[in-house]
Structure 1
């Protein structure tokens, strides 16, 4: 669990992302936050994004951000029977996988939001989906597959209806024929109008 801050403010004043990463599946959950996010708000985001979808983890690894070291988190995890492990300044690699996700996430946001930097939070669900649908080098599977033993449906995996060429060609051909008939019909009408004008 970690924060990324210093992003351009979006329409709701969010300037950061709270990043959750599962150690086993490498599943990523992302939540847009304001710089002023409090420990209770971060705890609620944990419930909304992690607990609701995956249940309670055995252990929770985080840096020593004051929001995570607070009495609230200590008390919450004690009540729930979960360990809260803190990485130290000397050993940030304790939560190295989250740091790697943060770097990849920043690169993705930089590329997809280059034209409109303040729209990053709107794209966060798609970015989260892309991260979870990519094969992870350490597991050899996508986080979606490790977590649920299946891959989600995407537009590329949806079955496509099989169309007989005749069925496809007939409406197209009829449209082309009608379009080609119209100018000749208009030419005949115009010729008739000119003839009548000349006779009068």
Structure 2
């Protein structure tokens, strides 16, 4: 996404339910209801041990032809573009979106248009904001950390440190700044 100047984010609709079960595996999903009916899943149900990995692998494989401009993570697709060869960033971005939608349509994977962002200067990606100026922390998450009450015991301190770890990528020498609080986690540490 480096050097890109315009971004879009898509959420695939119905996630696991877009993956058809292998014919031989359908009987293995049978469930008997109290009324005596037997139901079998024709699509991959949620809750199976390997369902997330299978779904992610499927989406990654289906979108491989557009991966350089539309990487995916599970049910999220991030499309990014920049102007090249005399075409504006918007023209290139529309082209990348069209190609991504064509691949998705071909494989019968559809986007949830209620959870989409088109042509933005910045999009949320895995808890961070990614834009033409790089990656930055989500201001909402930073606000929660700033407003967190002061810990008064080890359990509360662990909770705070776990939350604050979100910022380690963005704070230089995070470990050094974190050390005084981490020292309080030791068994014989004195709380003032």
Q: By percentage of residues, which structure has more strand?
A: 2
- Greater relative CO, 1 or 2 (CA 8 Å, sep 6+): 2
> TM exceeds 0.5?
no
Q: Which has the larger radius of gyration?
A: 1
TM-score of the superposed pair, with normalisation by structure 2: 0.27
TM-score of the superposed pair, with normalisation by structure 1: 0.26
